[in-house]
Chains A and B, each alone.
Chain A
Amino acid sequence: EVRLLESGGGLVQPGGSLRLSCATSGFTLSSYAMSWVRQAPGKGLEWVSVITASGGRTYYGASVKGRLTISRDNSKNMVYLQMNSLRPEDTAVYSCAKHKGYGGNIDAFDIWGLGTMVTVSS
């Protein structure tokens, strides 16, 4: 069974940092790009970042560029999101999502995790 399991969320003060992890299983991680998508309370889905299958290229949404860093370790079947300089508007459930096709960095997301809640508040 293909599964994604996020962890690492929590309450952090403005300006603080968190590192989110996404444990993957049931598929060959090295064949797929992976994204992080967030959903603020009562709001729609917002794409945050993508990393290509090999990890050689990364892209970010304008609202997080320069503060969040996506990475992956295909040997450990893990995807990460390092979050620095956090702001109250970053408060959301963060989910990792598997891209449907092989390799492409722009795609539908066919598998999602349940997400991990990040709350930025003093």
Chain B
Amino acid sequence: DIQMTQSPSSLSASVGDTVSISCRASQTISNSLNWYQQKPGKAPRLLIYSASTLQSGVPSRFSGSGSGTDFTLTISSLQPEDFATYSCQQSYSNPVTFGQGTKVEIK
């Protein structure tokens, strides 16, 4: 199975900050990397697919980059509604696997 490792596991930031979350795959996955946002009591929301393509309806302050084994989710000008947990997922091979999540908290 492909292991997905996110860092950091949590971070504190202020409204207006730019934050970056890293996701590393244990083997190359081309650009088959997706990012999700999850809030307590709500369903996960797809933000980015194929490493860098913004899902319809997602604000442009979210962006994704990377290929191969190293990927980054960047949130520019953090908004109050962005405080949540973010998870990466590889869709390169079965079984699809997720990172352990990164919790973005208010500083």
Assess whether B62 is interfacial by the CB under 8 Å rule. Answer: no
Assess whether A73 is interfacial by the CB under 8 Å rule. Answer: no
Within 8 A of A (CB), among B8-57: 32, 34, 36, 41-46, 49-50, 55
For B46, what are the chain A residues with a Cβ–Cβ distance below 8 Å? 100, 108-110
For A61, what are the chain B residues with a Cβ–Cβ distance below 8 Å? 95
User: Closest residue of chain B to A106, judged by CB?
Assistant: B91
**Cα(A108)–Cα(B54), bound, Å:** 12
Q: Shortest distance in angstroms between B34's beta carbon and chain A's nearest beta carbon?
A: 4
For A4, what are the chain B residues with a Cβ–Cβ distance below 8 Å? 43
For A89, what are the chain B residues with a Cβ–Cβ distance below 8 Å? none
Interface contact B42-A105, CB-CB below 8 Å: no
Within 8 A of A (CB), among B62-97: 87, 89, 91-97
Is chain B's interface secondary structure helix, strand, loop, or mixed overall? Answer: loop
User: Closest residue of chain A to B33, judged by CB?
Assistant: A108
**Cα(A35)–Cα(B96), bound, Å:** 10
Q: Please tell me the number of chain A residues within 8 Å of chain B, measured between CB atoms.
A: 24
Stretch at the interface among A9-17, A40-48, A76-84: A40-48
**Cα(A115)–Cα(B42), bound, Å:** 9
Given A109-B46, A110-B46, A112-B44, the answer on whether A44 and B98 have CB atoms closer than 8 Å is: yes
User: Closest residue of chain B to A113, judged by CB?
Assistant: B43
Interface contact B96-A106, CB-CB below 8 Å: yes
Interface contact A59-B49, CB-CB below 8 Å: no
Interface contact B91-A45, CB-CB below 8 Å: no
Interface contact B93-A106, CB-CB below 8 Å: yes
The 8 A-B pairs at the shortest CB distance, nearest first, are namely: A112-B43, A108-B34, A108-B49, A45-B98, A44-B100, A47-B96, A110-B46, A44-B101
- Residues of chain A at the chain B interface (Cβ within 8 Å): 4, 35, 43-47, 50, 59, 61-62, 95, 97, 100, 105-110, 112-115
